Structure formats: structure tokens, C-alpha cells
């Protein structure tokens, strides 16, 4: 659950990173058609040129130049400059509401877990079935001894007409 929240926040922060960026000094950055070095170069950004960052995905950022050219640049070659007035995405309010609901569910789950752990640590009454069988066995043994003594007594009375030696 925490991993889900972390990924949601990371994803939200990546979409919120849209703004402007400047190419790092003394570097000519290749503007590519895709987000790896295997894609073809569609333009070159000069040092200190300013671009609009559309999205950041891993090590690459999708940018739009002043000439209207859109492509991918290695993010390490850009110095991000967040907008003075960042625009909230249309779904941001819905995401924040859902995030609040998920946080509440997380708190409820943690409370239930703590309660379950507390109940588990309380001593349980001894309901060991082996103890029950032990008492039944001892009772049967005592009953057997008593019946054996009575049968012995009856045997002697019958054989010796009640005379005990």
C-alpha cells in the first residue's frame, strides 16, 4: 500500500514538473525523435537555449523549442526552471481526493493491524485437547482400579463366605 502511494506521488510530481528548462552551459544537446540515443536526431539545442518541458520520463525529457519543434533530450543536459505560476492539471483535484481516501484507508488498515497484534499478544485460555484426554485417561484408570477392588472383594466373599484372611 505504501509503495502504491509512493508511486502515485512520484507520478504526480513528474507531471507537475512541466515548466521551462535551460540547456546546460557549454553543451550542445541533441533533440531526438524518441527517448533513447537510438532514435534519430531531429535538431540541436544550443547552450543556454530555453525550452518548454512537456514531460519527464526517466532519463529523458520531452521538450518543445521556441521554433515549435518537439522532441526528447537527455534530462541531465537540462537545468529545470519551474514556472512562476504552475498550472494544475485538470485531474489534480480528483487525484488529491483519491489520495486522501487512500490515506484514510491506510490509517484504518494500520489501526486494524495494531488491534489484531494486541489481541494476538494477550494470553489465551488453555484449551489444549491433550490436557482433556489426560484427565479422561486418569478418570478411566481410577474407575478401573475401583471396579477391580470391588470384583476382588466379591470374589473373596463368595469363595470364603465372607471370611478375610
Q: Residue 90's pLDDT is what?
A: 58
Which residue's entry shows cell 520520463? 57
Percentage above 90 pLDDT, the chain = 36
CB 69 within 8 A of CB 52: no
- DSSP string for residues in 36-50: STTSPEEEEEPTT-E
Can you give the pLDDT at residue 164? 64
pLDDT digits (tens, 9 = 90+) for 125-149: 656 778 888 989 999 999 999 999 9
Domain 2-81: give its CATH architecture. Answer: Roll (2.30)
* pLDDT at residue 124 in the model: 66
pLDDT band at 15 (very low <50, low <70, confident <90, very high): very low
pLDDT of amino acid 129: 76
> Residue 156, Cβ neighbours under 10 Å: how many?
14
Q: Is the dihedral of CA 14, 17, 23, 24 positive or negative?
A: negative
Record the pTM: 0.41
- DSSP-assigned letters across all residues of 111-158: HHHHHHHHHHHSPPP---HHHHHHHHHHHHHHHHHHHHHHHHHHHHHH
Amino acid at each position: 500500500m505504501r509503495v502504491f502511494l509512493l508511486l502515485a506521488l512520484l507520478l504526480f510530481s513528474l507531471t507537475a514538473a512541466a515548466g521551462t528548462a535551460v540547456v546546460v552551459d557549454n553543451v550542445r544537446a541533441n533533440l531526438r525523435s524518441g527517448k533513447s540515443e537510438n532514435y534519430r536526431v531531429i535538431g540541436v539545442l544550443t547552450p543556454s537555449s530555453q525550452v518548454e518541458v512537456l514531460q519527464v520520463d526517466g532519463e529523458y525529457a520531452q521538450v518543445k523549442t521556441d521554433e515549435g519543434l518537439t522532441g526528447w533530450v537527455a534530462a541531465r543536459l537540462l537545468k529545470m526552471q519551474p514556472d512562476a505560476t504552475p498550472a494544475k492539471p485538470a485531474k489534480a483535484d480528483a487525484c488529491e481526493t483519491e489520495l486522501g481516501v487512500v490515506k484514510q484507508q491506510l490509517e484504518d488498515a494500520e489501526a486494524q493491524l495494531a488491534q489484531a497484534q494486541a489481541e494476538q499478544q494477550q494470553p489465551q485460555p488453555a484449551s489444549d485437547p491433550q490436557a482433556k484426554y489426560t484427565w479422561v485417561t486418569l478418570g478411566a484408570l481410577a474407575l478401573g482400579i475401583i471396579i477391580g477392588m470391588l470384583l476382588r472383594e466379591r470374589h473373596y466373599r463368595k469363595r470364603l463366605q465372607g471370611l478375610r484372611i
